[in-house]
Amino acid sequence: MNFSVKENASLLALFLRLIDSIIIITSGMLCFYLLEPIKYFPSYTGYLPEKYLTVIVLGFIFSAWWFPAFNLYQSWRGSNISTEIRALLLGWSCSLLGVLAFIFFTKTATDFSRHWLFLWFVSSFILLTILRVTLRWLLKKVRNNGYNLRSIVLVGGGDLSLQVAKKIQKASWLGLKIQGIFTDTPSRNKDLPTLGNINQVLAYINKNDIDQVWITLPLKEMEQIEQLCKQLHSTVVDVKLVPDIASLRLLNYSTTQLEGMPIINMSVSPMSNTNRLLKWIEDKVLSLLILLIISPLLCIIALAVKLTSPGPIFYKQERIGSNGKKFQMLKFRSMPVESDDKLEWGQANKKQKTTIGSFLRKTSLDELPQFINVLKGDMSIVGPRPERTVFVNKFKHEIDSYMQKHLVHAGITGWAQANGWRGDSCLKTRIDYDLFYVENWSLLFDFKIIWMTLFKGFNHGDKT
């Protein structure tokens, strides 16, 4: 069993390499023939012009180099199809970049049709994607019928082992069959047999056909995990460690590598690379557009504030934003100048207001200048509401994971406010909503919050 499964995996990888090569070469040729009636290609003998044939062969050679570099021929059992397609796109893009580099350095760019290169890239990627989707579908059918299975054992009888077993049993298409559990304590999983104590794992593997060992021991048992791994080095089974991090509150956790050393990102901001750029564009474009639209209203409110109460038009208040940075948040002044001397969280509605201040607060019109903060880069339109420095220093010691909401820009409105959690509402619940937003951010999620806010208003009562 152990030998045949790995032999099948090798044959499958070899088959995939062969079909990939055929797709890349034939799609290049077919794209040429498709464009030939409408393009002025050079005359040729044989199947293709020599230069086009050379470039197609180079594309095949570069793909043979880059595809393995992106692990396209490893086992993707258990991984998401989007992850594999992303790796495929990167591998094929690098291959075509190699072709373009060859064309550039040989100064033959004018000899090739740009339409052909583009069509070759797109058609090959589509066909390569269809191949992998089809292969996954076929393997799912085969595994659901009890074929191409891999035998595994779990080491550890705690809650994590129970969760892993349930997920594997639920996802039958993975082709993983759990033979049993090794544990030094009574297992809570009554559906799987206990095969023995942890020190009996090696003896069992030597006598039975086992493909994988999944270690689900808690991290505090690192010494035992290390000892078990050393014992399993004398076998040919695959060993997988499932970190016991379920009890930790994590945000956007993922795994990366540093010079081959695995690293677990336990709490990281989702605003990185492309996401940061998308969020920046969203904020700049929308805030500028909104400010242009509401500029007459801003002028009217500014005049009303100035005429009804002595003092400045804007009220500036120090808040904590992204990465713990301080900034001056703008509002239309709705209170007398001296009324904000006493710092009390959640008591803003009890403070004295100017003649127009009550109306501005009730309608949240005093919040409109914060679009200037967004345009300056201090805030986002959507994000966790910022707090004053003194309250941040207080709450970060009282509320679990409070500071993690500062992994993203503070917002004029947020997921908590859109769901009615404003003002004197439960702060812990608001933080839970904020952390959900941080972990699940997307442009679509932002637009959903903006849409909800349009009907519920901006942060009524959220005046600290």
Per-residue pLDDT band for 2 (boundaries 50, 70, 90) equals: very low
pLDDT in the model for residue 463: 46
Q: Indicate whether 22 pLDDT > 90.
A: yes
Find, among 241, 238, 197, 195, the residue nearest to 218 by Cα. 241
Per-residue pLDDT band for 297 (boundaries 50, 70, 90) equals: very high
pLDDT in the model for residue 111: 85
Per-residue pLDDT band for 357 (boundaries 50, 70, 90) equals: confident
Residue 79 has what DSSP assignment? S
Token readout for 408 is 């993203």
Find, among 270, 269, 262, 266, the residue nearest to 249 by Cα. 266
pLDDT in the model for residue 231: 85
pLDDT in the model for residue 252: 61
Cβ 117 vs Cβ 39: under 8 Å? no
Q: Indicate whether 42 pLDDT > 80.
A: no
Q: Which domains does the chain have, with CATH numbers?
A: 2-144 (no CATH), 150-247 (3.40.50.720), 274-456 (no CATH)
Q: Span 296-311, mean pLDDT?
A: 90
Per-residue pLDDT band for 290 (boundaries 50, 70, 90) equals: very high
pLDDT in the model for residue 328: 93
Residue 134's CB: how many other CB atoms inside 10 A?
10
CA distance 123 to 26: 10
pLDDT in the model for residue 457: 56
**In DSSP terms, which residues pair with 181 in a beta bridge?**
154, 194
Cβ 320 vs Cβ 386: under 8 Å? yes
Q: Would the pTM of this model clear 0.85, i.e. be above it?
A: no
Cα 15 to Cα 2, 61, 82, 169: the distances in Å are 20, 17, 21, 29
Residue 298 has what DSSP assignment? H
Residue 222's CB: how many other CB atoms inside 10 A?
10
pLDDT in the model for residue 350: 56
Cα 101 → chain centroid: 32
Q: Indicate whether 291 pLDDT > 90.
A: yes
Q: Indicate whether 129 pLDDT > 90.
A: yes
Instruction: Quick: pLDDT tens for 306-337.
Output: 888 888 999 888 999 887 889 999 999 888 87
DSSP string, 322-355: GGG-EEEEEEE--S-GGGG-S--TT-GGGS---T
Residue 155's CB: how many other CB atoms inside 10 A?
24
Instruction: Quick: pLDDT tens for 372-412.
Output: 999 999 999 999 998 888 888 888 888 877 888 888 889 99
Q: Indicate whether 248 pLDDT > 80.
A: no
Token readout for 199 is 């020190």
CA distance 446 to 192: 44
Q: Indicate whether 464 pLDDT > 90.
A: no
CA distance 71 to 75: 8
- Separate counts of helices (H) and strands (E) for the chain: 14, 11
Distance between the two ends of the chain, CA-based, in angstroms? 66
What sign does the dihedral 416-418-420-425 (CA atoms) show? Answer: positive
Q: Indicate whether 7 pLDDT > 50.
A: no
pLDDT in the model for residue 254: 64
- Residue 296's contacts (CB-CB under 8 Å, 6 or more residues apart) are none
Cα 102 to Cα 59, 107, 225: the distances in Å are 10, 8, 50
Find, among 162, 155, 293, the residue nearest to 229 by Cα. 155
CA distance 80 to 77: 9
List, as own/partner pairs, every contact residues 371-377 make where C-beta atoms lie below 8 angstroms and the sequence separation is at least 24, other chains included.
Answer: 371/287, 371/290, 371/291, 371/294, 371/412, 372/287, 372/291, 372/330, 373/327, 373/329, 373/330, 374/283, 374/284, 374/286, 374/287, 374/412, 375/283, 375/284, 375/287, 375/288, 375/291, 377/283
Instruction: Quick: pLDDT tens for 145-173.
Output: 656 667 888 888 777 888 888 877 776 66
Of 458 and 69, the structure prediction assigns the larger pLDDT to 69
Biggest CA–CA distance in the chain, Å, is 90
Mean pLDDT over each residue of the chain, to the nearest integer: 82
Q: Indicate whether 423 pLDDT > 80.
A: no
Token readout for 390 is 């003194």
**In DSSP terms, which residues pair with 320 in a beta bridge?**
326
CA distance 422 to 349: 12
CA distance 220 to 225: 9
Instruction: Quick: pLDDT tens for 79-121.
Output: 667 888 888 999 999 999 999 999 988 888 888 889 999 999 9
Helix segments in 145-174, DSSP class H: 159-170
Per-residue pLDDT band for 450 (boundaries 50, 70, 90) equals: very high
